[in-house]
Amino acid sequence: MQPDTFVAADTAHYIDQFAQLDKGLPGVDVAWFDDQRKKYLARFSKIGFPTQRDEDWRYTPLRLITSKNFNVVAKPDCNVDLTPFKIPALDSYQIVFVDGHLHQKQSTLDLDKGITVRSLAEVLTNTPDLVEKYFGSVVENDSHGFTALNGALNKDGVVIKIEPGVQIEKPIELIFLSQTEMAISQPRNLIIVGKNSKAQFIDRYISNSTAHTLTNSTTEIIVEQRAEIDYYIIQTQSSSAYQVCGVWVKQAAGSRFSCRTITLGGGLVRNDLRVDLNGPEAHCDMLGVYSLSGKQHVDNHTTMIHQAENCTSNELYKGVLEQRSRAVFHGRIKVAAGAQKTDAQQTNNTLLLSRDAEIDTKPQLEIYADDVKCSHGATIGQLNEDSLFYLRTRGIDEADARTLLTYAFVNEVLNQIDIEPLRDALEKTLSSQLIHET
């Protein structure tokens, strides 16, 4: 609980980068976009990076990020082989970003009718008016310094628009690869899903080396009436890679948004996920798994805002902490005045498997309406000795028994992944991580 004594980070470095890049950043000729950029820069200069004095960051020391000067990569090396990262048997539309830049050759931008996938830089050059009313409409304006930094220094991102009534069979896979030493990638994404449409997205954050990198993404998602979205965030970067991942969602009446955040890698990962249920009878699922070892640190910060009547939400995060890893869970449910008949549930369960691991969990309910059913629960514990004993009596050795039980613990979330090849791949990765030594 000791506040971080590290003095304000080197924000100057990034302000310098902005000065150097200014004319080279996309959308420089688009007045409203450039305006937004400058506002974000001003905000970043003012507030800088968060510190542990900020209530929302009290358990996450940022020294690893703020003590380094990451650089915007001018031209990424595109001779990269993505085969090792492929999810076997997964049939998807792939869009690939390398160090924050769209990789044209590896990306499928030409999708079926009714689906537009374009790079942000290209949209801003050719048809900026198309996105004007959406851009910055979902993300919180008073969010932390990382969001401001992304707003100021983003180089590219993806803009996806799905017309009303379109149902996409194949998932859209967004791959964000960080590979250059000291590179900062700041994708800025916008996804609009029209009425009655249906789509699946898989955001994958990967890194292919021991390079120190920072990925600081902001994704805004607009879910129109009765649209249905399955959204996956899969984080498997190496432990020298750091990530701040912001996903901001607005849901209209009758829509469904299911988010599954699976964190299996990354040295320091912070996820901000905020969903506003703005129309009646909308439903949101937030599921998450984190399995950490070494000195990994993951901070899941979720916000569920019930603004309208008759909405339901369900949140379940499960985590396994080994070695010196540390996890933070901060789940906030807010039910605004007038959001009657709300049903909101939230659960966080963590297995603490090592003497040196730490969990800090902070579920939070803020309720301003009376006809509601809200609950949250949190547990922190170990594997059940009786279950272990039972397995041992069946001839399973202790290490296997532990792996089996740990796996069963997180499987409650994993088995809710509907895309089979993805689930298989995650199960495999997870099983290999959960090999226990006794």
Partner 1 sequence: MASTEQEIASLVQRDYKEGFITDIDADTLPPGLDEDVIRIISAKKEEPEFLLEWRLSAYRHWLGMKSPEWPHLNYPPVEFQEISYYSAPKQQQLLGSLDEVDPKLLETYEKLGIPIDEQKMLAGVKVAVDAVFDSVSVVTTFKKTLSESGVIFCPLSEALKDHPELVKQYLGSVVPSGDNYYAALNSAVFSEGSFVYIPKGVRCPMELSTYFRINAMNTGQFERTLIIADEDSYVSYLEGCTAPQRDENQLHAAVVELIALNGAEIKYSTIQNWYPGDENGKGGIYNFVTKRGACRGENAKISWTQVETGSAITWKYPSVLLEGDNSIGEFYSVALTNNYQQADTGTKMVHIGKNTKSTIISKGISAGHGQNSYRGLVKVVKGAENARNYSQCDSLLMGDKCGAHTFPYMEVKNPTAIVEHEATTSRIGEDQLFYCRQRGLSEEDAISMIVNGFCKDVFRELPMEFAVEAQKLLGISLEGSVG
Where on the chain is the footprint of partner 1 (CB under 8 A)? 1, 55, 59, 337-338, 340, 352-355, 357-382
Q: How far is CA 395 from CA 400, 406, 432, in A?
A: 10, 18, 21
Q: Which is nearer to partner 1, 34 or 56 (CB)?
A: 56
In angstroms, the CA 223 to CA 252 distance is: 6
Task: Find the shortest distance in angstroms from Cβ 281 to partner 1.
Answer: 19
Q: Provide CB contacts within 8 A for 140, sequence distance 6+.
A: 147, 248, 274
**Would residue 155 be called left, alpha or beta, if left means φ above 0 and alpha means ψ between -120 and 50 degrees?**
alpha
Task: Find the shortest distance in angstroms from Cβ 343 to partner 1.
Answer: 10
Q: Which of 331, 355, 303, 358 is nearest to 138 (CA)?
A: 303
**Is residue 150 within 8 Å of residue 73, measured between CB atoms?**
no
In angstroms, the CA 122 to CA 212 distance is: 29
Q: Which is nearer to partner 1, 8 or 337 (CB)?
A: 337
Q: Which is nearer to partner 1, 13 or 53 (CB)?
A: 53
In angstroms, the CA 204 to CA 120 distance is: 18
Q: Which is nearer to partner 1, 10 or 54 (CB)?
A: 54
Task: Find the shortest distance in angstroms from Cβ 338 to partner 1.
Answer: 8
DSSP 87: P
CA-CA-CA-CA torsion sign (113, 176, 236, 277): negative
In angstroms, the CA 249 to CA 222 distance is: 6
Task: Find the shortest distance in angstroms from Cβ 337 to partner 1.
Answer: 7
In angstroms, the CA 421 to CA 191 distance is: 24
**Would residue 260 be called left, alpha or beta, if left means φ above 0 and alpha means ψ between -120 and 50 degrees?**
beta
Task: Find the shortest distance in angstroms from Cβ 438 to partner 1.
Answer: 14
Buried b (16+ CB within 10 A) or exposed e, 236-247: bbbbbbbbbbbb
Q: Which is nearer to partner 1, 288 or 363 (CB)?
A: 363
Q: Which is nearer to partner 1, 311 or 357 (CB)?
A: 357
Parallel, antiparallel, or unpaired: how do β-strands 158-162 and 115-119 relate?
A: antiparallel
Task: Find the shortest distance in angstroms from Cβ 356 to partner 1.
Answer: 8
Task: Find the shortest distance in angstroms from Cβ 383 to partner 1.
Answer: 10
In angstroms, the CA 59 to CA 329 distance is: 9
In angstroms, the CA 272 to CA 219 distance is: 10
Q: Which is nearer to partner 1, 170 or 362 (CB)?
A: 362
Q: Which is nearer to partner 1, 219 or 302 (CB)?
A: 302
Task: Find the shortest distance in angstroms from Cβ 30 to partner 1.
Answer: 40
Task: Find the shortest distance in angstroms from Cβ 364 to partner 1.
Answer: 5
In angstroms, the CA 142 to CA 36 distance is: 13
Q: Which is nearer to partner 1, 89 or 399 (CB)?
A: 399
